[in-house]
Amino acid sequence: MTARLFVPGDAAAVAVGADQVAAALGAATVGQDVSITRTGSRGLFWLEPLVEVATPAGRIAYGPVAPEDVGGLLAAGLLDGGPHALRLGPPEDLPFLRRQTRLTFARCGVIDPRSAAEYEASGGWAGLRRAFALGPEAVVEEVVQSGLRGRGGAGFPTGLKWRTVRQAAGPQKSVVCNADEGDSGTFADRMLMEGDPFLLIEGMAIAGYAVGASRGYVYVRSEYPHAIATFAAALGAARRAGLLGADIDGSGFGFDIELRIGAGAYVCGEETALLDSLEGRRGQVRAKPPLPAHHGLFGRPTVINNVLSLAAVPVILAEGAARYRDLGMGRSRGTMPIQLAGNIRHGGLFEAAFGVTLGELVEEIGGGTASGRPVRAVQVGGPLGAYFPPALFDTPFDYEAFAARDGLIGHGGIVVFDDTVDMAEQARFAMQFCALESCGKCTPCRIGSTRGIEVIERIRSGLDPAANRALLADLCNTMKFGSLCALGGFTPYPVMSALTHFPEDFAGRAAPARAA
């Protein structure tokens, strides 16, 4: 019988040597009956490269594996799940995975992401088939009932968006997937496209069926070459399997997806800038209204959703809205793929029902800092998210709870910093990033970001600090309420949270430095 090994092909695993490990395993097992499947990642990045072997008792994991470990592992009986210092046991039993509720990421790191047959064998397409049985209007209602909100950050109810597009008149509606995952600290879209791309295809097909769109676009950032390659391969496989094309699965519904590549503009993650970019223009933000639902891609009714929103839909359809809605807290229903990143011991993908606290995520699940030093600040929600000190670690992961503390969950990324961080420098960087990435359409963002850098510099150099702090707060207020989109509008979050929670860092360069 063929021994089956699994080595992640996920970019983060590859970045720490997974390709070399796969090559070493291949070379060491030449002539033996061994197959090596490149999967996505389970999302336990401190254990990557994580090698798994299929045994009669289930999979056994080993990690982190270096190429030079391969000889010893094989000698210790890797192919039978034999004992070794790197043996971790069944991956599902690892505490980091056992504490999760994996709905969206259930297959990620498990199956061959390029195999439509493996996707189907593990429950794939069940959501789409139930959608065909229900009919489009019932599908929209099912998504409304699930309580799913946009996972890109805005948190708008997905079902309401779909209902608006369904009711809009238009000859050619589109489904656009926002895979322009530019927030630092986030990698869930990338992992999903590399680890379970058919799930996104299925979610988009369901969206198209529900709203009456025959055309889909995925706009993915150019910084993600692995995701682009895997997703393109999956598109081809789905077409060959008859799950994209003129008549999907004999339903009479036709839908296909085109993959488009961004060009390094962060602002294109904003939905209207993304639409302009897809149309071949500068990625500039549009004023709303009109909403993309009425006047979207090429002026026609368009559903635009984040990867994680669309990828949540197949499970909602397959298992019913109640299964999803019964998880979570308050108005945040279902699960959120949370990403633990930066200076953290156990960094990775943690999908859980809403409600887990920031402290649990950082200290318990994440294990504190990678450097071993105390946690000083965490930035939640990307470059436009607030910096929270440990004093706010009782905040539950929930859209409203974060908003109540002048923060946001955004796309679910958490970046941990230890006590060597200079928060005035982080505030300055937030303004600098805004200046670098501003689309230029509105004045508060285009001009305010550069003025913001200057004001922070003046505060740091001790120049009339009280007046300049007041000026910075006033500038942030103008940006927050006067900008067209979240880039200018949310840059004040990291800036003001740094100033509010870490005022000592703005005391000026002449002030005594903290103990190193």
Does 270 engage in binding with another protein (CB under 8 A)? Answer: no
Binding segment toward another protein, per CB under 8 A, in 85-93, 134-142, 273-281, 459-467: 273-281
Which residue, 20 or 101, is less far from another protein as judged by CB? Answer: 20
Which residue, 183 or 202, is less far from another protein as judged by CB? Answer: 183
Which residue, 197 or 348, is less far from another protein as judged by CB? Answer: 348
Least separation in angstroms between residue 15's CB and another protein is 3
Binding residues for another protein restricted to 280-319, rule: CB under 8 A: 280-283, 298
Does 516 engage in binding with another protein (CB under 8 A)? Answer: no
Size of residue set near another protein by CB under 8 A:
62
Q: Candidates 226, 286, 441, 458: give the one binding another protein (CB under 8 A).
A: 226
Binding segment toward another protein, per CB under 8 A, in 25-33, 249-257, 415-423, 441-449: 415-423
User: CA-CA distances (angstroms) from residue 359 to 300, 332, 356?
Assistant: 44, 19, 8
Give the alpha-carbon dihedral of 398, 312, 316, 328, to 10 degrees.
-10
Residue 215, token pair as written in the block: 């055309």
Does 11 engage in binding with another protein (CB under 8 A)? Answer: yes
Question: How far is residue 303's CA from residue 297's CA, in Å, rounded to a whole number?
Answer: 9
Among residues 216, 209, 195, 241, the alpha carbon closest in space to that of 128 is found at 209
The strand order across the sheet containing 3-8 reads 34-39, 3-8, 51-55, 58-62, 87-89
Binding mask 464-503 for another protein (x = CB under 8 A): ----------------------------------------
Least separation in angstroms between residue 252's CB and another protein is 25
Are 464 and 458 in contact by the 8 Å Cβ rule? The answer is: yes
The answer to whether the bond into 64 is cis (omega within 30° of 0) is yes
Binding mask 236-265 for another protein (x = CB under 8 A): ----------------------x-xxxxxx
**Amino acid present at 217:** Y
Which string of DSSP letters, residue by residue, matches 332-392?
EESEEEEEEEES-TT-EEEEEETT-BHHIIIIIIS-S-SSSSPEEEEEESGGGSPEE-GGG
Least separation in angstroms between residue 320's CB and another protein is 32
Which string of DSSP letters, residue by residue, matches 200-261?
HHHHHHHHHHHHTEEEEEEEE-TT-HHHHHHHHHHHHHHHHTTSSBSSGGGSS--BEEEEEE
Binding segment toward another protein, per CB under 8 A, in 157-165, 220-228, 244-252, 455-463: 220-228
Q: How many CB atoms lie within 10 A of CB 125?
A: 23
Q: Candidates 190, 286, 333, 441: give the one binding another protein (CB under 8 A).
A: 190
Angle between helices 188-195 and 197-211 (to 10 degrees): 100
Counted residue by residue, the chain has a size of 516
Binding residues for another protein restricted to 352-411, rule: CB under 8 A: 370, 379, 383
Residue 400, token pair as written in the block: 């409203």
Among residues 303, 145, 148, the alpha carbon closest in space to that of 211 is found at 303
CB neighbours of 31 closer than 8 A, spacing ≥ 6? none
Which residue, 282 or 288, is less far from another protein as judged by CB? Answer: 282
Q: Candidates 225, 236, 330, 374: give the one binding another protein (CB under 8 A).
A: 225
Which residue, 48 or 142, is less far from another protein as judged by CB? Answer: 48
Binding segment toward another protein, per CB under 8 A, in 156-164, 313-321, 417-425, 475-483: 417-425
Least separation in angstroms between residue 223's CB and another protein is 5
Least separation in angstroms between residue 319's CB and another protein is 29
Chain contacts with another protein (rule: CB under 8 A) = 11-12, 14-16, 45-46, 48, 181-187, 189-190, 222-227, 258, 260-266, 277-283, 298, 339-344, 347-348, 370, 379, 383, 413, 415-418, 421, 426, 429, 433, 436-437, 439
